């Protein structure tokens, strides 16, 4: 165990945050799945064991991802993009349909489903970081830098958008932030934003069934007093959970709204956490993500290479924006979406992809620490007087 701890490198605060989020996730999911287990006629331990396996698998992936030199992810990003684009197309055409949306594909043999947009997020962010770092000398050149970058962003955006609006919009926003960090001109970024708006409008107009769902959710959010009780049920139950939690909560496992709140183990896990752990627990969870973002900011500013800085920036933006989007929905600050809370919500492969993202950030941090140690060793060696 001691040898394993000694081999974990990178920012210790991020490691601690990952452990705390994982423990909190296990407690929340075990509490939240009691009603689901009863409906399916199984023990809640079955969901707990499955979730534990995913958490442990995620931490293992994070560990191995952080051991790999982050520069190797530049080459891996090209492979991921080659895999991701046809996979997203396959998902749209032949994926598993749930609520009129095709977001999942089933992995043969193991019969496990996964959301292809999770892979797309990782692929696009790493590919953008690679492309932006390689094009720094010609970053203002529209033909050599802007068009290849815009093409990759728009293709992924178009392929995710019809089935998963919230993920597509967040990923597009992260891409815009990454373009700003990568020194793309404001004029070109404005063109990207305009292109995204045109694509979004076109899909909403053509989308029919899905566009009706999106508009309904926005309408419920904007005018809850006029909304159909059935359509506002999720948001109302979430507010009840938060309101009854008080300052210190009802205690672990004492939630009552888990019996009424849809998806208290995934989309609305933050509401359940506030009900059981109170305002103190909710603020504590928010602080964990804020500290994570702060530590990632330090990694970005200290990274000597553009690729490492852009990689850490893009992945940290993606994880924190997703976290705050989930929490905003739970407290009524946004329309209902299906965005999970990173490393806390119950999930399958989404936990694994999230863990890899954390591991890549830690890989950049590990490289910074190793360079600092080498520079210190050189200074110490240089101070030793020569023998003669």
Domain ranges of the chain: 1-67+230-283+321-365
User: In angstroms, rounded to a whole number, what is the distance separating the alpha carbons of residues 335 and 220?
Assistant: 7
The tokens for 75 are 């080459």
User: In angstroms, rounded to a whole number, what is the distance separating the alpha carbons of residues 275 and 261?
Assistant: 12
The residues with which 115 forms a beta bridge, in sequence order, are 104
Residues sharing a CB contact under 8 Å with residue 261, sequence separation 6 or more, in sequence order: 234, 237, 238, 241, 268, 271, 272
Per-residue pLDDT of the chain (388 residues; tens, 9 = 90+): 556 566 778 889 999 999 999 999 999 998 888 777 777 777 778 888 889 999 999 999 999 999 999 999 999 999 999 999 998 888 888 777 665 556 767 776 666 777 888 899 999 999 999 988 887 777 766 677 777 788 888 889 888 888 788 888 899 889 888 888 887 778 877 877 787 788 777 766 665 556 666 677 777 777 776 766 767 788 888 889 999 988 999 998 888 888 888 888 888 999 999 999 999 999 999 999 999 999 999 999 998 888 999 999 999 999 999 999 999 999 988 888 878 899 999 877 889 999 999 999 999 999 998 888 777 776 666 655 544 4
User: In angstroms, rounded to a whole number, what is the distance separating the alpha carbons of residues 228 and 226?
Assistant: 7
User: In angstroms, rounded to a whole number, what is the distance separating the alpha carbons of residues 122 and 130?
Assistant: 12
For residue 281, the tally of other CB atoms under 10 A from its CB is: 21
Phi and psi of 287, rounded to 5°? -65, -35
């Amino acid at each position: 165990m001691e040898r394993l701890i000694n081999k974990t490198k990178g920012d210790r605060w991020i490691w601690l945050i990952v452990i705390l989020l994982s423990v909190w996730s296990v407690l929340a999911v075990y509490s939240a799945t009691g009603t689901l287990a009863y409906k399916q006629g199984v023990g809640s331990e079955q969901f707990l064991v499955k979730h534990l396996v995913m958490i442990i698998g995620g931490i293992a992936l994070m560990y191995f991802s952080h051991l790999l030199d982050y520069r190797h992810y530049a080459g891996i990003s090209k492979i991921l993009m080659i895999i991701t684009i046809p996979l997203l197309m396959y998902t749209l055409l032949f994926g598993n349909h749930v609520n009129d949306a095709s977001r999942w594909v089933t992995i043969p043999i193991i019969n496990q489903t996964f959301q292809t947009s999770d892979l797309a997020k990782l692929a696009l962010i790493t590919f953008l970081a690679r492309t932006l770092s390689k094009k720094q000398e010609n970053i203002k050149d529209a033909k050599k830098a802007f068009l290849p970058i815009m093409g990759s962003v728009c293709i992924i955006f178009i392929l995710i958008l019809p089935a998963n609006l919230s993920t597509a919009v967040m990923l597009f926003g992260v891409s815009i932030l990454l373009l700003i960090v990568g020194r793309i001109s404001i004029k070109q970024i404005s063109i990207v934003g305009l292109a995204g708006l045109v694509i979004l409008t076109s899909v909403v107009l053509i989308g029919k069934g899905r566009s009706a769902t999106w508009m309904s959710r926005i309408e419920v959010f904007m005018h809850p007093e006029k909304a159909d009780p059935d359509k506002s049920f999720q948001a109302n139950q979430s507010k009840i959970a938060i309101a009854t939690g008080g300052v210190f909560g009802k205690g672990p496992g004492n939630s009552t709204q888990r019996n009424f709140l849809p998806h208290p183990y995934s989309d609305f896990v933050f509401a359940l956490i506030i009900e059981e752990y109170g305002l103190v627990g909710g603020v504590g969870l928010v602080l964990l993500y804020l500290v994570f973002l702060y530590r990632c900011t330090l990694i970005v500013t200290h990274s000597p290479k553009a690729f490492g800085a852009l990689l850490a920036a893009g992945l940290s933006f993606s994880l924190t924006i997703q976290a705050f989007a989930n929490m905003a929905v739970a407290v009524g600050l946004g329309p209902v979406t299906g965005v999970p809370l990173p490393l806390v919500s119950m999930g399958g492969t989404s936990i694994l992809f999230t863990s890899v993202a954390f591991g890549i950030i830690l890989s950049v941090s590990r490289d910074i620490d190793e360079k600092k140690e080498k520079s210190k060793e050189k200074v110490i060696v240089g101070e030793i007087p020569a023998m003669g």
